Structure formats: structure tokens, C-alpha cells
Amino acid sequence: MTRIALTSLGCARNLVDSEVMLGRLASDSVTICDEMDDVDVMIINTCGFIREAVEESIDAILQFCGLKKDGRLKKVIAVGCLVQRYGEELVRELPEVDGFVGVNDQATIERVVKEVLAGKRVVELSGQARIDDRNGHGVALTPAHFRYVKICDGCNHRCSFCAIPGIKGKLRSRSRHSILSEARGLIEEGAKEIVLIGQDTAEFGHDRGEPKSLPKLLRDICAIDGDFWVRLLYSCPTHFTEELLEVISAEDKICRYVDLPVQHIDAGILKAMGRHETPEEILRLIRRIRQVIPEVSIRTSLILGFPGEGEREFQRLLDFVRDTKFERLGAFEFSPEEGTIAASMPGQVPEEVKDERFDRVMRLQQEISIENNRKLLGKKQRIIVDEWSEHPDYRCVGRGEGDAPEVDGCVFVKGRTARPGEFLTVEFTGCLEYDMIARELDEPSQ
């Protein structure tokens, strides 16, 4: 019996790749292990998006190579984005790693595992970019009640700061049939929240000559029998259409949640970033989202300290955050990534200035979040339970439609202990900076 363990770094898209690889490997002769030592093969699915992710991935590889040296595992295989981006250098600099597999070659993982166990050193970096248009799904690495479904990969945008197109290639959309088949299977297995992901989900179908196919996909998923949520993540403003807004508003199963990474609001910075939207178009879209989708929660992401961002440009961004009052916001300090245009732009911002601007944005967002949460006090809402709690006052922890798993806030619920995946109707009785406190109002639906 071969014992295999896998650690998945980076984003939810990577997590889906990890699940699919484990699904390929799972068999009567393979045991998938949770433990990180005493295994035959350790697979590290790496992230190579920004400097911090690269450092985390290399540290993980070195950690498991140390376990291999100590005899606590036999073979180490590095896969994923870091390998795709720096493959030749890694092969040369890390002789203790037994196998390297890029993002385009993960379908070879079964053969790679067999060959490294036979004593070979394997390098798979030559595959062409493709989409895994499967009809099934892999081994779950999330709780059973919510599952990520990747509907597309790669990206046709050429933002000056982003290394993803160089790693993942151009946009590749799965067929609607394969996505629906996977979603249906997950729901039949008990999933209560289907989270659709991609580099830019709003771009889904453009490569297939079907630029308006995302709304139809959403309608088709909602037509599947069952009581479940559908959540859409990573939808860039460029392709966010009126029809998409109307579908999110009209379908009861779709969470009133819009993940809209705008990155900045200053016209000059947006142009230097290679973004396609003007400040006016961004503001108009946000107003329209809130007009069409009642009680929507909008999440955005911002890049701070982009080359050329002076105090005036940053103040525009700060005013934008203050005026817009996003329900959810993530901020990232600009990372000059090798091979990107922005890495060599003039006007690079010192690290200490980036740090200071990050603190200012997040302090402001914390104030906005508290203000938004206070408006929820006394209101009733349906939530999904993520986990039970041993806390004497809060017996379970869940999320509302406005909170995506693993990135947003949560709801601490007073009452009985509920099972993960149950839906509860609660009344909000208290609030924290990013989280809510509530009491259960009725019996949960299954």
C-alpha cells in the first residue's frame, strides 16, 4: 500500500487542482494520508503568484525535504504554479526533490508518482495549457458542505503587475455540461454551497465564442434539485454584464455577493496597471450592482504602492474606500514580480510607504465594517453552519450570504449545536469588527 500526502498552498484554484490530483491517485493500492510524515510520497502544490507566496512554497519544499532526509518520508514531488514559473531553476537548485510537475502536466501525476518510487527523478514541464473538462470531481479538501468548482482557468487580461498569464496561459473555459455534471454530483453527495471560481469567472465562455454563457450556466445550476447556495468569486469588472447582475438578483439560490477586484480608482494608476476600466465606469458599475441586487455584499481587492502612486493618488483611493463603504475588502502591497511590466516601471514606492498605506486602508475598512455590521443588528438572516463550537455561549459558527468561506467574516450563533451544512434562520444580536453574533430563531432546514 502506497501512502501519499499532499499539502496545497495558495488560492482555492490550487485547492481544486489538488483535489483532482488526489482523485487521480486514489485507488485500492493508495492511501491518502492527513499526516505530513511517515509517508511514501509527499506532494506540495505550490503557489508562485507573488514574492511572499514564492517564499512560502520554497520553505514548504525545504521543510519536507528535511523530513525526507530524516527518514520520515521517502519521496518529495513539487507541483503547481511555482514549478511552472521557475521550473528549470528549481530542478537545478533543489536536487533533493524527486519530481517536478508544472500546472499543465498535472494529469501525469499517477505516472510521476510511480516513476519516483521506482527511483527516477522526473521533470514534467512541457505540456500545453489545457482545461480539465472532467465530468467528475476529486478528493474533497474542504468540509463536505461547501465545494469549489473551477469553471475556467488562465486569463486573457494583461495587467502589468500580474504574473498569472505567464504561469497559467490564456483563458480556457470548461464546457457547461462538465460543470453541471460536477455540480450535480456534489449536491447529490450533500454539498450545500457550490463556489464557482476561475482567474476571472466573468470572462467564462469568451474563449469558446460564448461570451454570454455565464448567466445561462448560473441558471442551469440553480435548476438542479435541492436546497443549496451558489456563490460566484473572482469576477473582474471588464466582463461584468447587466444580464449577470439580473441573474444574481433573480435566482434565490445565488448568494447576493459580488467579488469585484477593482485594484485602484486613480485613472493614471489604472492605466499603468493595464486595467480596462475608467474610474467612472467602476463607480457606475458599483452603483448599478447595488441598485439591481438588494442587500448585496460587495467584496473588492486593492493594490497599494503601485509604481507612480503618490500621496495624491493614494488619497483618491482612500476617499473611494470611504465613500463606497465596501462590505468586504482585501488590500495587498504591490509586489514587483519578475517578468512583469510593472516590476521595472519608474516611481517604485518604498516598502515602508506601502506598509503605512496598507495600515491606513485597513484601519479605515475596519471602521466601515463595524458601521456596516451595526446596521444588521435586529435583522433576521439565513446562514449556513460551518462548524460546531465548544464555546459555552456560541454553539456553532456559520456564514451569511455576504461571507465567502475562508476569506470573510463569520456568525457566532447562540443556541443548540448544529451540524455543518445546516441552514439556520438567525437574528443578529451583536457585532464585532468583521463578525456577527446571533441567536437561532427556528429549526434548521436540511
CATH number for the domain harbouring residue 415: 2.40.50.140
The beta strand positions in 21-177, using DSSP E, are 30-33, 39-46, 73-80, 99-101, 122-124, 146-150, 152-153, 172-173
pLDDT for residue 219 is more than 50: yes
CATH code of residue 262: 3.80.30.20
pLDDT band at 136 (very low <50, low <70, confident <90, very high): low
10 within some domain: yes
Annotate 285-309 with b (16+ C-beta within 10 A) or e (fewer): bbeebeeebeebbbbbbbbbbbbbb
Q: What is the pTM of this model?
A: 0.94
Q: What's the mean pLDDT in 292-301?
A: 96
Residues 367 and 389 in one domain: no
What pLDDT is attached to residue 29? 81
Q: Is the pLDDT of residue 445 over 50?
A: no
Q: What is the mean pLDDT of the chain?
A: 94
Return the closest-CA partner of residue 19 out of 32, 35, 3.
Answer: 32
- Residue holding cell 501525476? 109
423 in any annotated domain:
yes
Where a domain ends, among 321, 349, 374?
A: 374
Nearest to 48 by CA among 136, 174, 163, 144: 163
Condensed to tens digits (0 to 9), the pLDDT of residues 230-283 reads 999 999 999 999 999 999 999 999 999 999 999 999 999 999 999 999 999 999
pLDDT at 314: 98
Tell whether 21 is covered by a domain. yes
- Exposure of 368 by Cβ count < 10 A (0-12 exposed, 13-18 middle, 19+ buried)? middle
**Model confidence band, residue 444 (pLDDT cutoffs 50, 70, 90):** very low
Residue 345 has pLDDT above 50, yes or no: yes
Local structure of 323: helix, strand or coil: helix
Confidence of residue 137 (pLDDT cuts 50, 70, 90): confident
pLDDT in tens, 416-438: 778 999 999 999 999 999 999 99
pLDDT digits (tens, 9 = 90+) for 302-343: 999 999 999 999 999 999 999 999 999 999 999 999 999 999
Report the DSSP pairing between strands 122-124 and 99-101: parallel
Cα–Cα dist 318/341, whole Å: 25
Note whether residue 407 is domain-resident.
Answer: yes
Q: What percent of the chain has pLDDT over 70?
A: 98
Largest CA distance in the chain: 64
Same domain, 309 and 219: yes
Q: What value does the mean pLDDT take over residues 340-366?
A: 98
For residue 339, CA distances in Å to 27, 86, 276, 343, 394 come to 40, 11, 21, 7, 49
Q: Which of 374, 394, 417 marks a domain boundary?
A: 374
Instruction: Provide the edge-to-edge strand list for the sheet that holds 257-259.
Output: 257-259, 297-304, 328-333
What is the phi-psi region of residue 175: left when phi exceeds 0, alpha when psi lies from -120 to 50, beta otherwise?
beta
304 and 412 belong to one structural domain: no
Domain count, the chain: 3
Q: Which of 36-50, 188-202, 429-443 has the highest mean pLDDT?
A: 188-202
CA distances from 225 to 186, 374, 398 (A): 12, 36, 23
Q: What is the span of the domain harbouring residue 408?
A: 380-440
Residues 177 and 292 in one domain: yes
* Shared domain check, 420 and 405: yes
pLDDT at 392: 82
Question: In which band, very low, low, confident or very high, does the pLDDT at 91 lie, cut at 50, 70 and 90?
Answer: very high
Kindly state whether residues 288 and 432 are assigned to the same domain.
Answer: no
Is the pLDDT score of 353 beyond 80?
yes
Q: Is 251 exposed, middle or buried (0-12, 13-18, 19+ CB in 10 A)?
A: middle
CB 103 within 8 A of CB 80: yes
The reply to whether 348 and 399 lie within a common domain is: no
Mark whether 7 and 37 lie in a shared domain: yes
| Angle, CA 5 vertex, CA 3 and CA 86 arms, to 5° | 130
pLDDT score for 135: 55
Task: For residues 403 and 315, state if they share a domain.
Answer: no
Q: Are residues 260 and 217 in the same domain?
A: yes
Q: Quick check: is 140 in a domain?
A: no
- Alpha carbon 61 to its chain centroid, in Å, reads 22
CATH number reported for the structural domain that contains residue 104 in this entry: 3.40.50.12160
**Is-contact 289 261, C-beta < 8 A?**
no
Cell numbers placing 49: 503568484
Residue 193 and residue 111 in one domain: no
**pLDDT of 371 above 70:** yes
Boundary (domain end) residue, out of 343, 374, 405: 374
Measured between alpha carbons, how far is 133 from 131 in angstroms, rounded to an integer? 6
User: Does residue 151 sit in the same domain as residue 119?
Assistant: no
Asked if the structure places residue 137 within a domain, the reply is no
In a domain, 141, yes or no: no
344 found inside a domain: yes
Other Cβ atoms less than 10 A from the Cβ of 312: the count is 9
